[in-house]
Structure 1
């Protein structure tokens, strides 16, 4: 009998001990409930989101925990609580975070963490900032971070790229949701094929990052984080602009999101249609801005099996037509010069995330694919051989594991390891029999591991290594490169942080986007070929930064100074080889060492949620140790198309919830640009003037009902028309002689209708 009583007593004791207790409450901001706020237990990923009334509730066993309350646009709250055998009611009041001091980023360590705790400096442009500068595509939204500069490189096709710290686009790794699916052709035109209404934030890490993200990250990484389905909403917007008061640029976008009541599943749709007329700046009947039509559609969805297992599926497709040259409405076969490209892109990915029962381990498996098909014409003087087809196919698959150690030599440590395989096939076929077809298959197998160790409360060490095995059908031997990375974060005080680091990167000898793009120079087509003894590039990057972050009540101030030094061994350069077999040739060879050094500065200030100003600038040198010949007739050691000084500015004033005013600025300093003979008598290296592009826009929001609003907006881009004024003319022009702002003065008006803003 006594044994039975003892057993029953023990069973009740253990049942009571393991019984979970409810934590509940409401999250508000200025006495208004805030929906879809994350409320969870630190280091356990256990929690929930607030409902449409700002209320939350979840169960947890007895103990002492740290609750974290986090939402985009608000300061993060951490509060220690002790759970006993009675339910707890804990309410939270959020404060706005205009400067994003508590933003969560993934680009520093490939795992989500607060930006302040990242050992690598990550700068962020969020969806709200993209809206403030009225950016339609990724290309327009990348200029508002220090060290970044976008440029257009061709008047005929509109080829564009992004430079980080002066290095051209091929040195930057563009990621979509941390996956390297940005194919070679997308490196040419893709910046204008990603609409900003699908972007949640753009995370930029300057300096080599190949130890964790793979090759081609010598200058840095740009990680495009797409919008997650968080709350039910619907938005449709339309905007029309007049380029130089004469050519239209019309854009229509939509967003629609559906989330289940239990928040376990959701899907968000987005789309964009753009129709831009071609623009001729100097009345010679040849375009400076291409004619463009783009239709983009996609979705992102998730399904939570439970709080520890999540499946994410995304899909995107784009159809684009662009045309440059003359006689845009006629067949290329009757023109003097025509570049006509019709591209179809289809891509998507699947990711499965799994947490262990104690939430100290996370497993992720993923697979992504992107296929680009481009029917194109590059030709002059009614050339029937100008037609061709270019294809780009990319697959990425990998497994990643993160383990958290809460007591590692009296500190905390995250160990992230993974395996990733990337396959890329580029094919190009042209009607011109002089142009040799290209078929390039590359396989890259990457194995990486990284340790993020919180040594002390104010000291963090990040170290990692990635080994990559590269094979290509165009090379006889495989290539294996080991890339190390180390970074240190030292919080000198609660407001001053010091970061420093070193990383090694590489680029394999292969064709890239600029190589498969046919150039039309002064009426002639010319191609790029690879040198027989072309070797891989190897880079060494050193970076250091000081950041001062201060906030008191509504007042916020961030000052950042970042120095960088990168040397590239055996850099790829292009030298003109004259005419070979009736075709103008440029050969990709290894040049002498290249060096890029300088510093970025940024200041962001918000005295209250109504006002925000940010200023950013870059001061740098970029050169080769010895001279080379980028064009026949030019010998230089300069890295061309790179100014020594450039910067940006953004000022926002929102006096109330209805009005919003924005002033933006982009400064491009003097730089050297090759100017090929044709319209001019001989090839020269031109020094361009400095240009300052200023824009202004304003919007007013009207409440249509309890759930829907209408916004009317308008403004002027490039108010003072700081635009290149020395374009070449006629068929003999050099269409690559283009620099400065992408468009002249442009007036626009727009409407936005829906919920969620």
Structure 2
């Protein structure tokens, strides 16, 4: 009995401690000022509260155990603290939050210097991985579909290749960078936007409008800079994988390792497979191209004295994709028995940055890419090699109120293919000089002056100046004005997919001169914080770009040809774009965007709207967090206005203009478990596909080699009983994805 009493007393103590009702209280501040309506959450429980007008909060009835407490407030960095709850009645835990709105992030793309987005005289849009996770995709190309003013454009119904349009301009006008280096260009504009592992993505910066004065050719319409993570800041291990009911499988892995005190290493692996032919529109052609793709990316950051930068990265990419008639097999590749478009792509990339070990701030950056493409379009082979080397040295110097940047660059371009247009290897060396001066007139007014000189041995000297002005009206209102010029040197067979596929003949009427552009845009940014903790960010941009020497594919003059020449006239793109970001303290977040534009060409005093350019677009991402259920709901989508489409003649029964169309998606993410997110949803909720309302999308699928097409003496297609619309095989009538509704399920794991 004597031994039983102490045992019972010990059990009572343990039981009392286990069910102790402890209160965690404290104050949420920022720089000493209280933050009312801040969210305080006890992770992995249903216990949550908000701070009062004095920033004070109280979490009651907390049981004994180990917890993570998170304090968050709109426009500020969340703060996390670990705490051990014992039988103490009250625990005090204070938080001091630092402001961190996405509008204040550091960007480098607009000026080649790290600068706060608010302070940059060049408007730069920033998108973090969490934005793209609202609608998970297998590649960067698809991920950009919910960015306002940016549209992934499919160029072929069979092989599903595409490019990125910014403000209505074709993909070759957009320069895609990785860590500021021109990695994705030429051939890879069409074939290389896939396979960049999402696990390595730190953010994507987008500049809309010419940036040739800093980045040279190809940056006429704008640029997309894919910033990869610093290995020091990356998770030790991350995994993200999803599968759809169409059979698409995407796996994304990331690993970090420290190599002693010398360096840190980050490795990313992306694998995508789709091998389930689907033909929902019953034309005997695949609705979605079959793909088998792997990409391996590795980045090294070396530790140096005085924190000088030295990083290197490399990527290897391989893809095997095909589309065509359902009965197509590898043995049919390149033959005339069964039609298929088969593309093997091998590509490797190397890039790096080295800050010189001197007192002055000088940075040497370099990149090299090797792209090998082995492809057939029906019975037409296209074998191409492209190598691009790039080196750049910049000197960042501040003198009084002048923030100067001097730079020199050298670009090496090698291209060769088996087409008659390439008689011999095309080798080009393009040296460049550029200078930039950002002048701080006072705290609220800045002017940026810039100029670039390029020399191309085929086209001579090219000069591109620019000017930017920023007026900081106050901390929450910014006005920017930018103007400048751009240029683009065209290589048809690396940029224009229509030159490779279908039955149209490619006609080049003259030696193509570089395109030139003149641009002006005005940008207004406003931030609004309401008294109850809500935030609204509003940004609007109006732009006007005038092109001379434009090279616009002519599909209209002859339905059997694609004609290329410098436009005898001019082209114009103009419009207005607006973005609205709203964050509410009840867990609701809205990102809304709309763009209205007019893209036209004028030749022989006749003005016409350009093909495949819509007049308006809209995008949205609506998110709501249900804390008690540990659930995030994301509803994303886009809407596009009608665009003129390439028909094959007056008898072509397909619609000349696309309808207004929309792709909408919903996703549910469950995040109760530590380091794990489980997500599922539905893509293309409306089950929209471009074949609706059309008798067919691909012309003459029953005769893809045009064996039964009759021509007159002038080469015009004749009407016959077998060919009542006088058509040839044509997969180029495409403006949106041909993949219908599908569900997906995924798992995301992060080990910090």
> Which TM-score bucket, shorter chain as reference?
0.7 to 0.9
Matched, 1:299 2:298: yes
Distance 1:240-1:73 versus aligned 2 partners, 3 A rule: farther
Alignment partner, residue 394 of structure 1: 388
**CA offset digits 1:520-563 (Å, max 9, x no partner):** 33xx263354x434322110000001111123684321111110
- Where 2:220 maps in the other structure, the secondary structure is coil
For residue 463 of structure 2, what is the aligned residue in structure 1?
Answer: 482
The 3-state SS of whatever aligns with 1:686 is coil
Residues 158, 189 of structure 1: 8 Å contact kept? no
Give the Cα–Cα distance (whole angstroms) in 2 for the partners of residues 671 and 362 of structure 1. 48
Q: Give the counterpart of 1:427 among 403, 406, 416.
A: 416
Which residue does the alignment assign to 2:708? Answer: none
Question: How far apart are residue 128 of structure 1 and its match?
Answer: 1.2
Among residues 342, 345, 350, which one is paired with 1:343 in the alignment?
345
Equivalent of 2:746, from 738, 750, 754? 750
Q: Aligned match of 2:200 in 198, 201, 223?
A: 198
| Aligned residues of 1:107 and 1:223 also touching (Cα < 8 A) | yes
Deviation of the 1:579 alpha carbon: 10
The alignment status of 1:569 with 2:548, answered yes or no, reads yes
Cα 1:271/1:73, change in 2 over 3 Å: farther
What does the per-residue CA deviation read over 1:652-687, in whole Å, with 9 as the maximum and x for residues that have no partner?
12233942211101111111111225xx94498711
Change (3 A) 1:664 1:355: farther
Partner of residue 18, structure 2: none
Equivalent pair of 1:151/1:742 in contact (CA under 8 Å): no
| 2:608 aligned to which of 623, 637, 652 | 637
- Helix, strand or coil for the counterpart of 1:215? coil
Q: Distance in 2 between matches of 1:546 and 1:512?
A: 39
Aligned to 2:237: 234
Select the structure of larger CA radius of gyration. 2
User: 2:660 is matched with which residue?
Assistant: 690
Which residue, 608, 621, 638 being the options, matches 2:598? 621
Aligned-pair CA distance for 1:174? 1.4
2:429 aligns with one of 443, 448, 452: 443
Alpha carbons 2:190, 2:497 under 8 Å: kept: no
Unaligned runs of 5+ in 1: 1-28, 34-53, 55-71, 78-90, 473-477, 629-634
Q: Tell me if the contact between 1:676 and 1:684 (Cα under 8 Å) persists in the aligned partners.
A: no
Alpha-carbon distance in 1 for matches of 2:76, 2:229: 17
CA distance in 2 between counterparts of 1:623 and 1:579 reads 20
- Give the aligned partner of residue 271 of structure 1: 269
Cα offset for 1:375? 1.1
Return 5+ residue gaps in structure 2 as ranges: 1-37, 43-67, 69-73, 80-93, 705-727
The 3-state SS of whatever aligns with 1:340 is: strand
**CA distance, structure 1, for counterparts of residue 603 and residue 595 of structure 2:** 24
Indicate if the aligned counterparts of 2:204 and 2:225 stay in contact, CA closer than 8 A: yes
CA–CA distance in structure 1, aligned partners of residues 452 and 385 of structure 2: 29
Q: Which residue of 2 aligns with 1:322?
A: 321
Q: Are 1:738 and 2:734 matched, yes or no? A: yes
Matches within 5 A, 1:58-207: 74-75=76-77, 93-95=96-98, 97=100, 100-207=102-209
Tell whether the 8 Å contact from 1:314 to 1:349 is kept in structure 2 after alignment. yes
Deviation at 1:122, TM superposition (A): 0.7
- 1:592 aligned onto 2:563: no
Is the Cα contact below 8 Å between 1:177 and 1:226 reproduced in 2? yes
Q: 1:548 to 1:747 in 2, by over 3 A?
A: same
In 2 relative to 1, CA 437–159 (structure 1 residues): closer, same or farther, beyond 3 Å? Answer: farther
Among 604, 625, 630, the alignment partner of 2:581 is 604
Cα distance in 1 for partners of 2:362, 2:586 equals 39
Structure-1 residue corresponding to 2:671: 701
Task: Name the SS for the 1:421 alignment partner.
Answer: strand
Aligned pair count reads 637
Distance (whole Å) between structure 1 residues aligned to residue 224 and residue 145 of structure 2? 12
Q: Equivalents in 2 of 1:108, 1:585: separation in Å?
A: 36
Paired with 2:424 and 2:661, the residues of 1 have a C-alpha distance of: 39
Secondary structure in 1 aligned to 2:323? strand
Native 8 Å contact 2:510 2:565 kept in 1 = no
Q: Distance in 1 between matches of 2:229 and 2:184?
A: 18
- Determine if contact 2:374/2:384 at 8 Å carries over to the other structure: yes
Matched-pair contact (CA < 8 Å) for 1:126–1:201 = yes
Q: 1:141 to 1:96 in 2, by over 3 A?
A: farther
Farther-moved stretch of structure 1 (313-322 vs 733-742):
733-742
Distance (Å, rounded) in 2 between the aligned partners of 1:339 and 1:636: 36
Bigger drift between 729-738 and 207-216 goes to 729-738
CA distance in 2, matches of 1:298, 1:594: 40
In 2: Cα distance, 1:699 partner to 1:511 partner: 44
Aligned with 2:475 (options 494, 501, 524):
494
Q: 1:676/1:195 Cα in 2 relative to 1: closer, same or farther (>3 Å)?
A: farther
- 1:205 Cα deviation from its structure 2 partner: 0.9
- Check conservation: 2:238, 2:748, Cα contact below 8 A: yes
1:712 aligned partner: 678
Q: Provide the C-alpha distance between the structure 1 equivalents of 2:397 and 2:537, rounded to a whole number of angstroms.
A: 32
1:465 correspondence with 2:451: yes
Counterpart of 1:656 in structure 2 is 627
Q: How far does the alpha carbon of each residue in 1:229-277 deviate from its partner, in whole angstroms, 9 at most, with x for none?
A: 11442112221112xxxx3211111011124787x63111111110123
Q: 1:30 to 1:261 in 2, by over 3 A?
A: farther
In the TM superposition, residue 418 of structure 1 has moved relative to its aligned partner by: 0.6
Deviation at 1:437, TM superposition (A): 4.8
Alignment of 1:544-583 (within 5 A): 544-551=522-529, 554-575=533-554
Question: Is the contact made by 1:125 and 1:144 (CA closer than 8 Å) also made in structure 2?
Answer: no
Is the CA contact (8 Å cut-off) linking 1:253 and 1:273 kept in structure 2? yes
Which structure carries more strand by proportion? 1
Moved more, 386-395 or 364-373: 386-395
Change (3 A) 1:96 1:499: closer
SS in 2 for 1:743: coil
Structure 1 CA distance, aligned partners of 2:305 and 2:96?
28
Q: Distance in 2 between matches of 1:742 and 1:549?
A: 39
Given the superposition, is the C-alpha separation of residues 398 and 280 from structure 1 closer, same or farther in structure 2, using an over 3 Å criterion?
same
CA RMSD of aligned residues (A): 3.2
TM-score (norm 2): 0.79
